[in-house]
Structure formats: C-alpha cells, structure tokens
Amino acid sequence: MTRLTVFGAGGRAGRAITAEALRRGLHVTAVVRDPRKHAEVAHRDVTLAAGDVTDPASVESAARGADAVVHAVSPFTGPEQGFADLDPRFFVRSSDALRVGMAAAGVERLLVIGLFANLRTADGVLVMDDPALFPPEIRPFARAHTDGLDRLRETAGPDWLVLTPPARLTPDAPRTGRYRLLDESLPLTDGELSYADLAIAVVDEAQAPTRHRTRVAVVGGEPARRAEG
C-alpha cells in the first residue's frame, strides 16, 4: 500500500492520520473544504485538494489512485455551535457518496471515524440513550452519526470499518503506539486515547485489514500491531 486519501485532513483526527501515514512513507491526498485554510498540511508527500465527502464526483476524483479512503469529516465541533446548521442526513449522504464515488474510482477499503455515543454499555444500552453518560442536548448529532453507520450496514458497498474512539480522545496526549480494538461495547473504565494512537489504528487497518464491514471501539492498552517509527 502506498497511497491514502483522507477526507477531513484539516481536523484533529485527519491531521493525526495524515501524519501517521507520512511517518510510514505513504503518499496522502489530504481533502479539505478550502485548501487555503490548511497550509500547515503541506508536505512533499501530500496532495492538498478541495473536496466534499457528500458529493460522489468529488469522492471519485479524490479517491482515484488510492489504496484506501479515510472519512474523518465532522460537521459539528461542539455544543456551542448549536444545531441550526446541522444537516441531520450528513452522515447518510457521506456514506452514499463514498459508496458511489469509491466504486467509480476502483477503491475498496474505507475507514471511518466513529462516535462513542452509539457504542453500547455493558447493559446493551446505547450511550446516547443514557443521559448520565451523554448530554441529551447534543443527541441530534449522535443520531445523525448513527444514521450514517446504519446506512453503511444496510447497503452493499466498500470494505468498510468504523473505528470508534472513547469519549476521552485527547489532543495533547502522546503517541504511545498502544491500542486495542474491541467490539461495540464501550469499556467505560478505560482511560484516554490520543489522536496519534487512534491514527495508528486507522493506518494499521488501511495497510493490513483485520476487520471487515463492521464497527469497533478503539481504546488504549496493548501494543499496536504495526506501530512503526
């Protein structure tokens, strides 16, 4: 594997995934809404491109020639943003566009950054349905995310994997090279996970897939399978 396309390369997860891919000598097509706002992504092995993950033609253009595609785009930055501009079908539309655009580009592997709110507790309850665990006021975003996951599950398409970090996904935590892939139950006692270690998990699964058409939780812990560098 030599080429990775990352939608949302200007965000925290996208930047970490791009950095991990570059660490391993991969070429990255870094897709953002406005390249002029993301000059920091520039690198000799990065093609910075404008694109829209909800548009099949844009997906096809950005994905062509890649070995795998990453969807790390989020239209929601936090409660302070409000929901007036939130498209409740954003993740459904992106799932559809990725399915169509990747098929046209001839790319099979898709890695998606998930949301802990639609993991399940040990009692089998969705985290977003428990007000003690998840703020009810941001449930509309969790519902939109869940609809996108459901769309992946119900339609034929690429060989996808949703990698879902815990709530404590920490920007400043160090790269340890340690993570575990678990099933869809969220181990609430697990500690924080760094963006850098989430990125290791994503690039590992791009280079050497172990899970297919499913969703996993990514938590800190055991040494990564391929923590190179």
Domains of the chain from N-terminus onward: 3-223 (3.40.50.720)
Count helices and strands in the chain by DSSP H and E runs: 5, 10
Higher-scoring residue by pLDDT: 220, 144 = 144
pLDDT-derived band of residue 222, with 50, 70 and 90 as boundaries?
low
Q: What is the pLDDT of residues 90-123, one digit of tens each?
A: 999 999 999 999 999 999 999 999 999 999 887 8
pTM: predicted TM-score of the whole model, two decimal places: 0.93
Q: Which residues of 15-35 are buried (b: 16+ CB within 10 A; e: fewer)?
A: bbbbbbbbbbebbbbbbbeeb
Locate 36 and state its tokens.
Answer: 């002029």
User: What is the total residue count of the chain?
Assistant: 229
pLDDT-derived band of residue 82, with 50, 70 and 90 as boundaries?
low
Note the helical H segments in 34-89: 56-63
